[in-house]
Amino acid sequence: MPTYDYECDACGHEFELFQQISEAVKKKCPSCGKLKLRRLFGTGAAVVFKGSGFYETDYRSDSYKKAAEKDKKSTEKKSDSKSEGSKGEAKSSKNESKPAKPTSKD
């Protein structure tokens, strides 16, 4: 349901009204009660796209997509190098914590 702008010619009262498209145009001003209310043109038929997916996936330029991909790859490389460093430390600590196996030459 769209929102329509109304203005009273008698008192100058302006307001918005949320109503169905099929509803009749209001004529009586809620402020002064006179039948001088008119609906303003150009409102009530706006399309609003909410959310980030529509714009990001459909209308980004090629240069933006290339820059975003490059930035994503550099971020992945940084996170990989950090995770490899922590894995290497974990491996070395596991090797150090194992007791040495006794060797017997009987």
CA–CA distance, 38 with 26 (Å, rounded to integer): 7
Residue 39 CB neighbours (<10 A): 15
Q: How far apart are CA 83 and CA 77, in angstroms?
A: 10
pLDDT at position 72, please?
A: 86
Tens-level pLDDT at each residue, the chain (106 residues): 788 899 999 999 999 998 888 999 999 999 999 999 999 886 555 666 666 655 555 566 778 788 888 888 888 877 766 665 555 554 555 555 556 666 666 5
Q: Please give the pLDDT value at position 73.
A: 85
Of 50, 41, 47, 38, the closest CA to residue 12 belongs to 38
Q: Where are the domains of the chain?
A: 3-39
> In terms of Cα–Cα distance, which of 48, 43, 49 is closest to 19?
43
